[in-house]
Amino acid sequence: MKSLTFFALNVSFVLPVLASLDLVTPPAYLALAAVALLVRRPERAPHLAAALAAALILAFWVWLSNRLWTVGDDPARRALLLAVRSWALTGISASFALGMRPAELLNEAMQIARLSPRVGFALYAALNTLPRLAEEGRQIDAVHRVRLGGGRSPVLARAVTLLARAVRSGERAAQSLAARGLESPGPRTWYRPVAWGRRDAAQLLAGLAASGALFALLVALGAFRFGFY
């Protein structure tokens, strides 16, 4: 399964959960997101097993709370519904993070979804810069300690220095991309070319059909309750 397909499917899982305010829709789409993660990254099965154990404990607590609290506009019940929705959204986001490779997604977005290379490669540069910020922050702190005779440097001073380094790094990345003809017209070559095939279309349609069928089933059973807050 391509990263672009996985991204589109997770969006289709999040939207019904955002629009729901019941105890059935969020866990149902969370389970669907887990299935999508297993299809894309089977090696993540141990993580899903641990998440399933935590979900079962939470589900028991939700069931018990639902039996004890009254039905209707009880503020405690509404708080429970919002908590379940937040839990499901967090789980879907975690599933997306476990199954996603950001560089792969950007590469496919530029080649398949026609994302502007200017935006795509800018995000590439940001992905490469972020891991270095922590190390640069430690270096800045060490330099300030030497200058201050062992004292810890002020937070504002470290933040300003780190921001200046990030700006210089972004400027160098922009100059490098411009020198390589980022905005030049004509056909573009790719280090890792990808193409959208029938299998990819079938996987996307199957995932969207499963999401739509689940939503239709929840509506037919009366389990779906619309509400944002």
For 177-222, the pLDDT digits (tens) are 777 676 666 677 777 888 888 888 898 899 999 999 999 998 998 8
**How far, CA to CA in Å, does 155 sit from each of 89, 140, 165, 167?**
33, 11, 15, 18
Counting beta carbons within 10 angstroms of the beta carbon of residue 108, is it exposed (0 to 12), middle (13 to 18) or buried (19 or more)?
buried
* 24, 223 contact by CB (below 8 A): yes
Instruction: Tell me the sheet residues that pair with 20.
Output: 226
How confident is the model at residue 89, as a pLDDT?
85
How many CB atoms sit inside 10 A of residue 145's CB?
13
Task: Report the candidate in 91, 89, 85, 72 with the shortest Cα–Cα distance to residue 24.
Answer: 85
Residue 204 contacts residue 10 (beta carbons within 8 Å): no
Q: In sequence order, what are the beta bridge partners of 124?
A: none
The angle, 0 to 180 degrees and rounded to 10, between the axes of the packed helices 3-18 and 198-221 is 10
Q: Specify the pTM.
A: 0.73
Contact predicate 89/19, CB 8 Å:
no
Is the per-residue pLDDT at 65 higher than 90?
Answer: no
Lowest-pLDDT range of 106-115, 152-161, 194-203: 152-161
Predicted confidence (pLDDT) per residue in 84-106, tens digit: 888 888 888 888 888 888 888 88
